[in-house]
Structure 1
Amino acid sequence: MENNQIAKKVIEYVGGEENIVSVAHCATRLRVMVQDESLIQKEKVESLDKVKGAFFNSGQYQIIFGTGTVNKIYDEVSKLGIGTVAKSEQKVANDGNWFKRGIRVFGDVFVPIIPVLVATGLFMGLRGLLTQPQVLGLFGLAPESINENFLLYTQVLTDTAFAFLPALVAWSTFKVFGGSPVIGIVLGLMLVSPSLPNAYAVAAGTAEPIMLFNFIPIVGYQGTVLPAFISGIIGANLEKRLRKIVPDTFDLLVTPFVTLLIMSLLSLLVIGPIFHSFETVVLNATEWILALPFGLAGIIIGGLNQVIVVTGVHHIFNFLEVQLLTNTGSNPFNAIITSGMAAQGGATLAVGLKTKSKKLKALAFPSALSALLGITEPAIFGVNLRYVKPFLMGLIGGAVGGFLANILKLAGTGMSITVIPGTLLYLNNQLFSYILVNVIAIAVGFLLTYFFGFKDEQLKGE
């Protein structure tokens, strides 16, 4: 079936154009906001070609197509004149859990920033490879023989995104909440102004914070997320209120000036100190969990991470990874959650090899590959969760892999890439251990599913 035919059938099966409020998409899912869930013909939607699963959550009917395919289907839907919008502009219905709606907003803010963090992670991995004594030794070189200007250039590649992260976060937050993104950028840059004591230098003890009224510490907020996020929310809403009351004649002059003046004071004197302290507490708590003995952290995080993916609130962990990288220079969280993803891929692969259904094979194999590239939604919603036991076996595999990752003290040099692409974050002396942990996670998920988690009898009635 051609993509335009699939798009037409999707519109028909979700209740027709009159039942659709808006359509958006993320990396893998077509997200359809509907008026009435009862009008959706869910079985027919899931039986469509290229559909790898579907579920209803917080007013959105989310149809899993997988990377690449979802963009093409979205384009065909938009050609049919349906109300397509950017994902960040799609409003979530108020009937969802308030916590999940809040996390979804956080995800909408953070997702546009992920590409530069992925690129930065790759740069970090490559720099780690190029500066390894073992690799340099193959060319008769040593670390001290590397040109200083080249090292400086690599630092520009790896440090810029994190140093100016508040500007990226504030920009995206203003955009999501309907403010002017350029005001968000400037506000974020104010949080990392070179006029302020550098956060890294303060942490290293080579600089002192500015003490306002002898008790409010003011520093730059390099690498932080929450101060810029909260400032962006308040700032965007303040700007929108000002535009309603300021006469059009003075809007260009007054609105940006007042917004930046008020928000710069709030951000530096109130929001920044409070939420930077909160981030520190969260970071310390996470590090405490990751430091639990006997691999307990790996079992807990590796075993439950993909359950959190099902709920759609997993984006909250992005800022934890950022903080781990910023404050410790490494990311043990990445290695553990990678095990959970790899195990789900192994479970899906087992279903594909064991089933005699050609349609399920055609669905399972690419979904397994997607999971091994770090995108698990097709595997989870299209295969594993549909038959329940494969998903549970994948969770067990993730717990085993997470346990080993924790015991071996694996830690990535970046974030946001996992499993096969994530190899680039471990191109130091951790590479063998990283591969071993993931192979074991895949094997456990695969074997448990193949022997105990799936039978073709489960396909009856489909």
Structure 2
Amino acid sequence: MAGYAEIAKQVIHALGGQENIQSIAHCATRLRVMVHDREKVDAEAIEEIEKVKGAFYNSGQYQIIFGTGTVNRVFEAVTELGVEGSTKSDIKKESAKQGSAFQRAIRVFGDVFVPIIPVLVATGLFMGLRGLILQETVLGWFGLTPDSVPTNLILFTEILTDTAFAFLPALVAWSAFRVFGGTPIIGLVLGLMLVSPALPNAWAVAEGAADPLYYFGFIAVSGYQGSVLPAFFAGLVGAKLEKALRKRIPEALDLILTPFLVLLIMIMLSLFVLGPILHAAENGIFASMNFLLDLPFGLSGLVIGLTHQIITVTGIHHIFNFLEIQLLERLGFNPFNPIITGAIAAQGGAALAVAVKTSSKKLKALSYPSALSAFLGITEPAIFGVNLRYVKPFVMGLIGGGVSGFLASILNLQATGMAITVIPGTLLYLNEQIFSYILVNLVAIGTAFTLTYLFGFTDKMLEKK
């Protein structure tokens, strides 16, 4: 077994030598490398290196999958050999110039939303736990009924489940200011202004329990509880405005004038121009998504389940974060999650079939942990390390995702949150749906495994990879 120093030497050599490496960094599972000349990279040699679980080129980077823990040691060994490391933010700046305009836009969108996803995941888990402990059956085990649950306990659970979505614009504006180079605390305050108690509550207005405020006789203004796009663009424009002002305002007045002008200009722009326009656009996007999810006879699940992992491979899947947030905020549940969880589980099932069928010890050692990773909701090792290498397993995984997505739609499964799938995703279905959710995942894994084992892989493919 090669040591990390030897693996590092092989990586550097396969990347075209130290002189071809522009910058190198790592995330939780992958070594991320920017190279001067892509033609000098020996992609096949990289994939043959011990402990490499897959490699692919995306967003201007060579991303070499080693897995959690291993990637840290490989990175240390590479830098010890004289390759200068870079931070992930440096890598992002360099790769931001690459790819199509659409890919760059989606990447920025992801940079804004990824930091706030953990709190939305926690909120989803709180929703699931609340649904569990307030179920009549569960209460009955303790000789209780829904009427016997103390009001204060219900209010406490509402604090846990409602806060993140009530103040979602504040989270989005904070993150947008951070990404676009503004002062995050100004973004946070601007976002809070969008949901100020002084404004009519958006949910109350939607229910007809409150009236919006009218300015200039025709601009209807209310709070933006749960909205995303108005806060996103308020953060984008606000950060750009702040940077422009700081260049022009004397340093002695900067501390006072810049925050004052940014907040004054941006709240007026947000409430009277950006807000109404973008809220209308948000409604249109939501209506389109709802139309797709409402297709009859399980067609929505079939289409989404078949295509989800293809979209993931392209790297533009961060757009789904926005859509899932909208579903949770407006419907109170997420019908998208159970469809894509089958698509993810199916790729794990395909990788598992490869592991069982192959006689190659190295491929077995790669495929088993890759399948487990997919069952935990992370498909990169399975897709790039196994399934896409031989193409057919990936296709069989897509079919498994389509079948399980169809079943999830027929069963009308509804998650209480987002961003976790397959085994961890069970926490979003701690109610009467839990057995249906498990069934959907088993169908995904079983379909992809069977198709891959029978038709999707043979050891002859090792020679034609």
Check whether the contact 2:31–2:65 (CA below 8 A) recurs between aligned residues: yes
* Runs of 5+ unmatched residues, structure 1: none
Q: Larger deviation: 89-98 or 342-351? A: 89-98
For residues 119-268 of structure 1, what are the structure 2 equivalents within 5 Å? 119-268=122-271
Q: CA deviation at 1:261?
A: 1.6
| TM-score normalised per structure 1 | 0.94
Counterpart in the other structure of 1:275? 278
Question: Relative to 1, partners in 2 of residues 1:303 and 1:433: Cα closer, same or farther, differing over 3 Å?
Answer: same
Instruction: Report whether the alignment pairs 1:50 with 2:51.
Output: yes
**How many Å separate the matches in 1 of 2:75 and 2:433?**
40
Deviations 1:388-440 (CA, angstroms, capped at 9, x unpaired): 00000000000000001101111101111111111111111111111111111
Counterpart in the other structure of 1:437? 440
Aligned-partner residue type, residue 124 of structure 2 = G
Deviations 1:84-123 (CA, angstroms, capped at 9, x unpaired): 2338953425341111111111111111111111111111
Deviations 1:270-313 (CA, angstroms, capped at 9, x unpaired): 11111111111111111111111111101100110000000010
Counterpart in the other structure of 1:400? 403
Q: Percent identity?
A: 65
Q: Larger deviation: 12-21 or 384-393? A: 12-21
Q: Select 1:96's aligned residue among 58, 81, 99.
A: 99
Aligned-partner residue type, residue 403 of structure 2 = V
Aligned-partner residue type, residue 250 of structure 1 = L
Question: Relative to 1, partners in 2 of residues 1:385 and 1:89: Cα closer, same or farther, differing over 3 Å?
Answer: closer
Question: Relative to 1, partners in 2 of residues 1:330 and 1:70: Cα closer, same or farther, differing over 3 Å?
Answer: farther
Question: Relative to 1, partners in 2 of residues 1:444 and 1:78: Cα closer, same or farther, differing over 3 Å?
Answer: same
* Runs of 5+ unmatched residues, structure 2: none
Q: CA deviation at 1:68?
A: 5.1
Q: Select 1:305's aligned residue among 300, 308, 330.
A: 308
Aligned-partner residue type, residue 214 of structure 1 = G
Aligned-partner residue type, residue 314 of structure 1 = H
Question: Relative to 1, partners in 2 of residues 1:141 and 1:284: Cα closer, same or farther, differing over 3 Å?
Answer: same
**How many Å separate the matches in 2 of 1:25 and 1:252?**
37
**How many Å separate the matches in 2 of 1:381 and 1:89?**
21
Aligned-partner residue type, residue 44 of structure 1 = A
Aligned-partner residue type, residue 392 of structure 2 = K
For residues 334-373 of structure 1, what are the structure 2 equivalents within 5 Å? 334-373=337-376
**How many Å separate the matches in 2 of 1:333 and 1:87?**
34
**How many Å separate the matches in 2 of 1:17 and 1:239?**
40
Q: Select 2:415's aligned residue among 412, 416, 423.
A: 412
Counterpart in the other structure of 2:61? 60
Q: CA deviation at 1:190?
A: 1.3
**How many Å separate the matches in 1 of 2:432 and 2:184?**
42
Query: Size of the alignment, in residue pairs?
Result: 462
**How many Å separate the matches in 2 of 1:240 and 1:251?**
11
Question: Relative to 1, partners in 2 of residues 1:53 and 1:279: Cα closer, same or farther, differing over 3 Å?
Answer: same
What is the Cα-based RMSD across aligned positions, in Å?
2.1
Counterpart in the other structure of 1:426? 429
Q: Secondary structure at the match of 1:374?
A: coil
Q: Larger deviation: 284-293 or 45-54? A: 45-54
Q: CA deviation at 1:379?
A: 0.7
Counterpart in the other structure of 2:293? 290
